[in-house]
Amino acid sequence: MNSGGVRSSNIELFRILSMLMIVAHHYVVNSGLIDCIDTQASLHFQDYFLLLFGWGGKTGINCFVLITGYFMCTSNITKEKFCKLLGELYFYKVVIWCLFFFSGYQSFSIGDFLEMLFPFFTVADNFTACFLLFYLLIPFLNKLIHSLTEKEHFWLMTWCIGVYVVLPSFAKAHVVFNYVTWFSILYVIASYIRLYPKECFNSTKITGFLAGVSLLLSWMSIIVLAAFSRMIGKHVGLCYFFVSDSNKILALTTGISGFLFFKNLKIGYSRRINTIAAATFGVLCIHANSDTMRRWLWRDICNNVDAYNDGVIVVHAIAVTLVVFGLCTAIEVFRTKLKEYSKLTRRV
């Protein structure tokens, strides 16, 4: 995957696509569009489009953590790397909170202020903070997986998938679930792929077929369940059942098969792709920064609901998602370059 010490761009391209999936998901679920769709007596083309457009947020999370597990299971985290991620999170938390507060858009709230200062209050649905908490577990996870035999590793992975994926997806089992635990399970899966390569893991044709089938099943489940929800008068959000959280069966299989497919692609090194991919964590820190950011971005600035009512939602969704991703990427690249320049000038 590396050539001359430079990381190839196949996985980095996958990282970019995963973040685009997450931004598209937030475009739909954080803007009031699901409520608009829910008011329709019957679903139309734009409704099905939106439900499919916003399908991949939880799958995208799986993709990100699988990438981390694949690379980090044979590496060690460093204090510098962790501090860099933590600093990036805090930079955007503090700067964006200040912008909203001093512009008058957001009034002072003890809850919002404490969340800005200490963004680790929940391990249930806060991806960025939970990712950092999980990151601290990596040295311990590495000790565990390297002490296991291949057979033990396989059965640990199988047990985790059975309890945390199969039961909640098909048996309606209530499993105590949080992101830190789930990321650790994904780490076990990704490390198995890295440490015990199989012929089927390395076939572009096989993994591409599996990725295509899994993606098609995900979309079909959404369409079928959306139509069914209208028939029985239930909330249209039911359509996301098999991809509604990261541990649902199709969210996992699509993430794994997609990762395996891109792992096997041979596209060489692209500086542009790698630069954009390096900014994806910053994209997440910016556009999913807080509830205030979600309201400002999707409801006030982009005004997704009005675009839906005006019948231009398809073009609007694609254009806005690309623009938001592009602007956040540009901000993060600029911040990184400014930080590098600042370090360089201090040395001089």
Q: What is the pLDDT of residues 262-303, one digit of tens each?
A: 999 988 889 999 999 999 999 999 999 999 999 999 999 999
The token pair at 326 is: 């592009």
Q: How confident is the model at residue 347 (pLDDT cuts 50, 70, 90)?
A: low
Q: What is the pLDDT of residues 81-96, one digit of tens each?
A: 899 999 999 999 999 9
Tell me how many degrees the CA angle 50-301-18 measures, rounded to the nearest 5.
Answer: 45
Beta bridge partners of 3: 6
Q: What is the rounded average pLDDT for all residues in the chain? A: 91
**Measured distance CA(91)–CA(101) in Å, rounded:** 15
Query: Can you say how many angstroms the Cα of residue 330 is from the centroid of all Cα atoms in its chain?
Result: 19
Whether the Cβ atoms of residue 86 and residue 134 lie closer than 8 Å to each other: no
Tell me how many degrees the CA angle 213-179-184 measures, rounded to the nearest 5.
Answer: 80
Return the closest-CA partner of residue 65 out of 177, 185, 150: 185
- Alpha-carbon distance values, 65 to 24, 138, 285 (Å): 19, 12, 16
Whether the Cβ atoms of residue 328 and residue 283 lie closer than 8 Å to each other: yes
Q: Average pLDDT for residues 146-151, to the nearest whole number?
A: 96
Q: How confident is the model at residue 341 (pLDDT cuts 50, 70, 90)?
A: confident
